Amino acid sequence: MRRLIAMLALLLGLLPAFTPAWADDGQAQIVHVHSEVREQTLFADINLRIRLSPTQKEALHNGVILSLRLETEIQRPRTLLWAASVAESRRHFRLEYHALSETYLVHDELERETWTFGSLASALEAIGQVRAWPVARADELEDEGRLLGRSRMRLDVHRLPLPLRLTALTQDDWALQSEWFLWEPATARRALAPVPDLLGMDIRPC
């Protein structure tokens, strides 16, 4: 039996080569989430800070399109098991450099809109101002008890050109991923109250 475990451990040790490296250098960070219910929909406003690494900037200026993925989940925490997912929502932003006009294009796939920016900083700032994102239907969230929202932003490696994918997965200078930001979803009838720090997690009431 111990030998089997040893063999599994050996296999697991080889796995990190094929899983994304976790970014903890703060290149992408969610600083604020505000939510409210309007017209039976839970909307979220998310403020992010994004900074690209030199490698990513070089790739961008060489015509590589960077796809940034914003993920939001509404979860129901459980005592013994992991939290159950109630609703999930994803949003993609495509960042592209336009060589002819020397501008940066940001394409929002959800709203099917393209914005043009003269500088990379203003483009990233624009991506970092997510407003009125419908993340869930309000009736889905009713009768679920206490809920917890979490969001994160990351570079979608799978949308990179194929030769880059393995490099992007394994190398740290390609890592762009924020940590999960936990927030309490607003409800129509519930009054906003600070959430007790039950699990020692970084919970910020909005």
Partner 1 sequence: MLSWLSQFYHPWIHRLVPWVSAAVVVLLLVLLYLISDSLQSADRLESIYLWLLGGSAAGILFLVAVVVGHIVRLVRNYRRGVTGARLTARLVMTFVALSAIPVLIVFYFSLSFVQRGIDSWFDVRVEQAMNDALALSRLSFDGQMRDAMEQTRRAARSLGDGDGDLLALELHHLRRTTNANEMTIFGSRNLILASSSDDPRSIIPSRPDETALVHARNGKDFISLDPGPEGQLRIRVLVPITAELLTGETRVLNALFTLPPEANRLSNNVQAAFNEYRELVYLHNSLKQTFTLALTLALILSLLTAVWLAFVAARRLLAPIQELAEGTRAVAQGNYEHRLKVDRRDDLGLLVQSFNAMTARVRRAHRRMRELQELADQERDYLETVINHLSSGVLTLGPDGQINRSNEVAAQLLSIPARSLEAESLHSLCRRYSHLQPLCEAFEQALQPERLRPGETLEAQLRIMSETGRRVLLSRAAALPGDEQSAGGFVIVLEDVTTLIQAQRDAAWSEVARRLAHEIKNPLTPIQLSAERMRRRLLDQLPEDGSRILDRATQTIIQQVEAMKVMVNEFADYARPPQTRPERMELDKLTSDVADLYRGSPIPVHLIEATEPLWIAGDAGRLRQLLHNLIRNAQQALDEWAEQHPEAVTEPPRVTLLPRLREEDHLKQVELLVADNGPGFPDEMLDTVFEPYVTTRPKGTGLGLAIVKKIVEEHGGVVCAYNVASDGGRPDTGTGSEPDTLGAGARVLVRLPLAVTEEMEKDA
Q: Which range of residues in 21-29, 41-49, 108-116, 137-145 is near partner 1 by CB under 8 A?
A: 108-116
Residue pair 181/153 in contact (Cβ under 8 Å)? The answer is no
Q: Which range of residues in 22-30, 34-42, 98-106, 134-142 is near partner 1 by CB under 8 A?
A: 98-106
x-or-dash string of contact with partner 1, 161-200, rule CB under 8 A? xxxxxxx-x-------------------------------
With a CB cutoff of 8 Å and minimum separation 6, the contacts of 179 are 24, 29, 152
Q: Which range of residues in 30-38, 87-95, 99-107, 197-205 is near partner 1 by CB under 8 A?
A: 99-107
Alpha helix ranges (H) inside 77-176 = 120-127, 138-141, 162-170
Among residues 5 and 193, whose Cβ is nearest to partner 1?
Answer: 5
β pairing state of 181-183 and 84-98: unpaired
| Among 34, 85, 88, 116, contact with partner 1 (rule: CB under 8 A) | 116
Among residues 145 and 163, whose Cβ is nearest to partner 1?
Answer: 163
**Window 13-52: residues binding partner 1 (CB under 8 A):** 14, 18
Quote the CA–CA distance of 123 and 118 in Å, as a whole number.
8
Q: Which range of residues in 31-39, 43-51, 70-78, 160-168 is near partner 1 by CB under 8 A?
A: 160-168
DSSP at 144:
-
Closest distance of CB 91 from partner 1, Å = 17
Which of these, 126, 117, 69, 70, lies nearest to 96 by C-alpha position?
117
Instruction: Provide the total of helices (H) and of strands (E) in the chain, helices listed first.
Output: 5, 10
3-state helix, strand, coil in the chain (%, to 5): 25, 40, 35
Q: Does 64 interact with partner 1 (rule: CB under 8 A)?
A: yes
Residue ranges binding partner 1 (CB under 8 A): 3, 11, 14, 18, 58-59, 62-64, 98-103, 105, 113-119, 122, 125, 158-159, 161-167, 169
